[in-house]
Structure 1
Amino acid sequence: MLLLALDTATPAVTVALHDGERVLASDTQVDARRHGELLLPAVDKLLTGAGLALADVTGVVVGVGPGPYTGLRVGLMTADTFGFALGVPVHGVCTLDGLAYASDLGPDAGPFVVATDARRKEVYWGLYADSRTPLSGPAVDRPADLADRVAGLPAVGAGALLYPETFADARAPEHVSAAALASVAAERLAAGEELLPPRPLYLRRPDAQVPKNYKVVTPK
């Protein structure tokens, strides 16, 4: 098995290789405006550094969000393209699951929150029993609207770090890593679990909208 994992649902452009037992290599660059520019070179660099070729990949893992429309679709379209070209399956994993997996909270820490920046003064968030077990979400809300629900709980992710008045016990990691996503996928595949389809979890309409009452020009 050789899984190629990638995620562009957060400002991080992150890729990793996993052989089904361990992470072979990974790379993460944080630049919210250059997902499309950075992703393919990162994949090529990772494969070359590991002494592998794209043809060696037997499956693709992609973070399906939630995340902003523009960044998220870069990773999903790239994953779909790789899957089609190589004739290999493409597995979706919730980006919040990857952050939960990579948290440094111990197995007995109890419930905690994962929150990423959804912009518009909102967060994408989910509640987890432990690093591998989601309890609720993903959802999108204003931090103030979550205050009562998350009070006293540890929280990880950039959304938690942005709003300390709501997430008082905010911790790293800030962004998801493809290494964590690949590890989640490998564990679930080994257990015979069904993964998500590689389709986006947008949770809300994109920021870009078709203008209303625009002028229609017709030929004379």
Structure 2
Amino acid sequence: MEPVLVLAIDTSTATVVSGVVADGRTIGETILPDCRDHNEQLVVATQRALEQAGKTFQDVDAVVVGAGPGPFTGLRVGMATGAAFADALGIPVYGVCSLDAIAAQIPGTALVTSDARRREVYWATYQDGVRTSEPEVNAYADVNTEGFDAVNVPQNLQDKIAGTHDLYPTPAALVSLVDFAVEPTKLTPLYLRRPDAKEPAARPKSPAIPDVAL
């Protein structure tokens, strides 16, 4: 049975996304563009989204998390937090490809990219939202943008790659990718390469977010 209320989270890009979706419609969301501290902002963003929707954590039936690809530290924050919410509430958590959630908003043929840092981008190609190539990571110059109806490029990279869109994974798009009739599989972050830096030391446990290992 499809859940009534879904919490959707994505931290695979510079934009922190947290929203509450009911019947395919976003009823509360917090979007933080160019966020520099995903770890500090995500829980607050989620609380604001729930307040906007007039709901509490106890009303949530499932969690959907953008699984990347994305830089190690930011991506792990969203996945660990989403998994912790689900574990604390005793509800299922589903992981989806973040690039797919961007592509779901773009008709026709599309090249969807996101910032991988190190002068590289994550990318995949799509036809009407359906992926036609597996996600990869390449240098700016190695990404061919010709022949597409749309090219999604983050604003900070538009001087490197010519783009027609600058979209992020919306809560409704993230939820639309899930088949809730299927049991969720283990959350697996899509990094595509080794982390930029060592994983930070564990922080003191928050009563709102249990420790969850990914």
- TM-score normalised over the length of structure 2: 0.83
**Once the two structures are superposed, what CA deviation does each residue of 1:8-42 show, in whole Å capped at 9, x if it has no partner?**
01001111111233222222001342111111111
Listed one character per residue, the Cα deviations across residues 34-81 of structure 1 (whole Å, up to 9, x for unaligned) are 111111111111112221110111100000000001100110110110
Instruction: Give SS of 1:60's match.
Output: strand
Q: Distance in 2 between matches of 1:163 and 1:42?
A: 27
1:206 equivalent to 2:209? Answer: no
Which residue of structure 1 lines up, in the alignment, with residue 91 of structure 2?
A: 88
Q: In the alignment, is residue 157 of structure 1 matched against residue 153 of structure 2?
A: yes
* Percent identity of paired positions between Structure 1 and Structure 2: 41
**Which structure: greater helix fraction?**
1
Deviation (angstroms), 1:196? 5.9
| Partner residue, 2:139 | 142
Aligned counterpart for 2:174 among listed residues 181, 193, 201: 181
RMSD: 2.1
Larger Rg: 1
> In the alignment, is the contact (CA less than 8 A) between 2:27 and 2:52 conserved in 1?
no
In structure 1, stretches of 5+ residues that fail to align are 211-220
Aligned length: 195
**Counterpart Cα distance in 2 of 1:193 and 1:164:** 42
Instruction: Indicate the SS of the match to 1:102.
Output: coil
Secondary structure, in 3 states, of the residue corresponding to 2:133?
strand
Unpaired segments ≥5 residues, structure 2? 200-214
